[in-house]
Structure 1
Amino acid sequence: MPTTLVWFRDDLRLTDNPALTWAAERGDVVGVVVDETTSRPLGRAATWWRDHSIAELSERVPLTRAAGDPREIIPKMASELGAEVVWNRRYHSTEIDAAVKDACGARSFPGFLLTEPWEMRTGSGMPYRVFTPFYKAVQAHLAAHPPSVLPAPALEGQSRIDVPTYPAWADTLAEHNTPGELAALDRFHAFLDGLADGAHYSNNDLTPGATSGLSAHLRFGELSPGYVWAETVALAEAHPAAAADAYAFLRQLVWRDFAWHRFYHLPDLHLHNVRSQFDAFDWAWSEHADPMAHPYAFARPEMDGTAEHLGQLAAWQRGETGIPLVDAGMRELWLTGTMHNRVRMVVGSWLTKNLGIHWRHGEEWFWDTLVDADVASNPFNWQWVAGSGDDAAPYFRIFNPITQQEKFDPLGKYVTKWRPAALLPGYPEPMVDVKESRKVALAAYEDIKGVSGPQVG
């Protein structure tokens, strides 16, 4: 029987894996994952998740792990095996994939997104830049072309690929996270069961369990978005009372597509403002060593330690800003590798607007510390909250962290869980005054409002 080499990337699953299904129906399967040295290195938290997900997958799929340049590794393995190569598409490092395809031929399949970036166009034939019409177009497309879910093929696994030893900080990640497809399926179906039983979904509610908790599982492809869409729509149809919550959840899934569609057209999204007039904005920024050589985002000596904003950046990273909700969110991030969506917006607004620090510093820190750090969504969302991106929150929309806490954590349960000292007498005052720093931010924005410059892309 012919052998097929399946190159696993951000699709660490068996269920609804088009490339793997095609290979299994054809004959023998050999899987490979590559620790690529040709693109932006994963942050430490995401690397931890990926390593554990690969280990879990290796128990159910014949899997080899290699490190280096896939343009050399994949053709060499294919030649040695006499195998055809297949993969599920990704929408970054496309020049790498094109080179591999030229070298050995390959079949590619969709499966990482609900829709392909070249499929969704406005009436004038341009990519969407505004989310609401994009969302409506995706809904219409999926109603006409419902996702078809592929069952997991029956495969013989192998001995578990060992997980590298991690420093002590990873112990807390393990306390709060279970990587892998099996855990992803369990969590997803528990979430759907909750909706069917009357639970409510909200990406603003800080109460534990109000969100799905699926972001890292989706990021590494342990769940396919098509499977999530199909199962959630079926739940909404079977339980009409749950439909509103189900579609509120699916709206967030489409936001993920939106980020990736924009990244496909703007591959330097993590480096450059989408709205070029923000190039003239007086962000506090310290150039530093090449992130390929120094990928971790702590404020470092080579970043000019005399700059005042680096002390503020370090305090923000440690969760020592004097703002209870911000500090609780940053501690949640450090201990769990995740942060509630509403709080992500609050901490991002505080960094970029009240402190006036460049969104790239925040994006780099999240890239290093989030288990769900995503090539597209991470910079896209940072540019959204900073005001410099597509369909962004207007710059003058500055989240007041005090009123945000009063509105979304009125009893202080979230802050008590992650930063209990913040609610006790004697907690330090905010590093900058909330109202005065807002005025400074708005004045800085006024300085660039008249600056001409097209939106990129």
Structure 2
Amino acid sequence: MTSIVWIRKDLRLHDNPSLYHAAEAGDVLPVYIFDEDEEIGAAQKWFLHHALDSFQRRLDSVGGKLYILKGSPAKILPELAEKFQASSIHWNRQYEPSVFKRDREIGEALYKTGVNVNTYEGRLLLPPWDVKKNDGEPYKVFTPFYKALQKHEVPQALPSVKKMDTISFNKKDSLSLNELKLLPEINWTAGMEKRWTPSEEAAVRRFHAFIDKKLKVYKTQRDFPADEASSALSPYFALGLLSVRSVYHTVKKTAEAAGEPFLRQLVWRDFAYSLITHFPETETDPMNDQFKHFKWMDEDDQFDAWKKGKTGFPIVDAGMRELWSTGYMHNRVRMVVGSFLTKDLLIHWRKGADWFDDTLVDADVANNVMGWQWVAGSGADASPFFRIFNPTTQSKKFDPDGEYIKKWVPELREMPSKHIHDPSGAPEDALKEAGVNIGKDYPKPIVDHKAARLRALDRYDDVKK
């Protein structure tokens, strides 16, 4: 039997259902098709280039060869099936609304030509349609979703592919990685190169290091960005270098009760995919209909200041600069910068989501939309709109000594801890001693938080009326 495996966001040998089952059945042609119509941000393109390079080497080690093409999967897959006389095509499902719809159409077209199509769950703990209410309706609130998922059995991870027989092909027909043009023409990736190793082996090492050193303090320290107590596994989940089922069962087995707060985060990821699968319109539109009438502002200067980390609010600026340098931002800080954009600046959450899509190595449509609609107050199970984070208070609470700020906002390194969270309000002698001239060395705040908060609440009252 000859099978084609359509490789997408599943660049791993361990617990890869489509690759595993195809390799067990007979000869395999692993194919990666770079679809230029499928949007992917600049930071994640860099990560993808190196992840593909690593995956090629992993395939080589078990006898496989990756066939790389560029173009429309709907056109290329039937052509490959005919060219190689493949009796079946296998792939792990993706749930981004437009991609999921396209894949179903591809599957139906292939089936009509006599090709057997096999799809698998290789991205989530459970498929998005498995966890529903008793009446068949999807959950819109996380806690009942979490409890309901506990009643389901999450399948165990599959063994790693140890050996495969690859269909021979003309190497000239396969593109090189450089021909995909994923890397930027101007090199701005030094910070990402220092932070990340995009490979399956690195993903597994990072996971085990997290279990050994950080999981026991995850519950109490995960909200403190300077402590780096989070797992930082999200980039590896995003492109499938790490199996979420493998992680889930390993944590359950080794950590028991200590692992519960982390497992909730994995289930939250499933919840995000459930929402975007059942409510695909939320990719662009608010789930809460009231917000369709919300009057957002469009201040380009303020949006640019936010993107560049020059708002005059140190915790916000630190987060945005970490993002630009490393392609990543601590989760607590993501909430702070999101609240600041949507509530202090009243700029539409979609603009923030688009910026994150372009700059995050862990860019993921479901998680991104879920996070932004949550913080904006417009989504399912959202933070109420009237819950407006005070960036200074958040900074004092979660970065009390200013260690995170000093790392990413070096012009404030000499500021004493008690003034670093609000340097514009510091006394002149403290500023002088720290060598900080507000408005010159570090920007003045672009808004008055108290006034901005009242303005946001007024807008919300208008929508409610």
How high is the TM-score relative to the length of structure 2?
A: 0.86
Cα deviations across residues 328-383 of structure 1 (Å, max 9, x unaligned)? 00000000000000000000000000011111110110010000110111111101
Mapping 1:174-185, distance limit 5 Å? 174-185=193-204
Contact residue 126 and residue 154 of structure 2 kept, 8 A = no
Greater per-residue helix proportion: 2
Residue aligning to 1:443: 458
Structure 1 segment 370-381 matched on structure 2, within 5 A:
370-381=360-371
Partner of 1:88: 92
Q: Does 1:100 align with 2:100?
A: no
Contact 1:12 1:57 in 2 (8 A): yes
Q: Choose which of 22, 45, 48 in structure 2 pairs with 1:47.
A: 45
Cα shift readout 1:150-209 (whole Å, capped 9, x = no counterpart): 11112369999535442211222111111121111110011111257x544543121343
Task: Tell me which residue corresponds to 1:306.
Answer: none
Q: Which amino acid is the alignment partner of residue 250 of structure 2?
A: E
How far off is 1:250 after superposition? 0.9
**Contact 1:55 1:161 (C-alpha < 8 Å) held by counterparts:** no
**Cα distance in structure 2, aligned partners of 1:207 and 1:38:** 38
1:79 paired residue among 65, 74, 82? 82
Counterpart selection for 1:353 from 333, 343, 346: 343
TM-aligned CA distance change 1:208 to 1:66, over 3 Å: farther
Work out whether 1:413 is the aligned partner of 2:403. Answer: yes
Report what 1:36 is aligned to: 35
CA distance in 2, matches of 1:442, 1:378: 24
| Cα distance in 1 between the residues matched to 2:5 and 2:58 | 14
Unaligned 5+ runs, structure 1: 238-242, 286-308, 451-457
Amino acid at match of 2:190: D
Match of 1:428 in 2: 443
CA contact (8 A) 2:214 2:229 kept: no
Asked if the contact 1:70–1:96 (Cα under 8 Å) also holds between the matched residues in 2, the reply is no
| Structure 1 residue 385, shift from structure 2 partner | 0.4
**Does the 8 Å CA contact 2:47/2:198 hold for their aligned counterparts?**
yes
Q: Distance in 2 between matches of 1:345 and 1:122?
A: 29
After the TM superposition, which parts of structure 1 deviate over 3 Å for at least 4 consecutive aligned residues? 155-165, 198-203
Query: Which structure has the larger Rg over C-alpha atoms?
Result: 2
Q: What is the rounded CA distance, in whole Å, between the counterparts of 1:56 and 1:369 in structure 2?
A: 22
Aligned-residue identity in percent = 46
Quick one: which of 115, 131, 134 aligns to 1:120?
A: 131
Which structure 2 residues correspond to residues 258-277 of structure 1 after superposition, within 5 A? 258-277=271-290
Q: Which residue, out of 380, 387, 403, partners 2:377?
A: 387
State which drifts further: 94-103 or 331-340. 94-103
User: Any conservation in 1 of the 2:222–2:228 contact (CA below 8 Å)?
Assistant: no
Q: Is the 8 A contact 1:147 1:229 kept in 2?
A: no
Quote the Cα distance in structure 1 between the aligned partners of 2:283 and 2:307: 19
Q: Tell me the TM-score normalized by structure 1.
A: 0.87
**Aligned residue for 1:316?**
306
Between the aligned partners of 1:146 and 1:346, the Cα distance in structure 2 is 33
User: Are the aligned partners of 1:54 and 1:161 in contact in 2 as well (CA < 8 Å)?
Assistant: no
SS in 2 for 1:59: helix
| 2:362 aligned counterpart, secondary structure | coil
Long gaps (5+) in structure 2: 60-64, 112-116, 413-419, 421-433
Which of 162, 172, 175 aligns to 1:154? It is: 162
The reply to whether residue 402 of structure 1 matches residue 401 of structure 2 is no
Q: Contact 2:307–2:320 at 8 Å: present in 1 too?
A: yes
After alignment, is 159-168 or 396-405 more displaced?
A: 159-168
Is the Cα–Cα contact under 8 Å of residues 7 and 32 in structure 2 kept in the other structure?
Answer: yes
Contact 2:214-2:230 within 8 A present in 1 as well: no
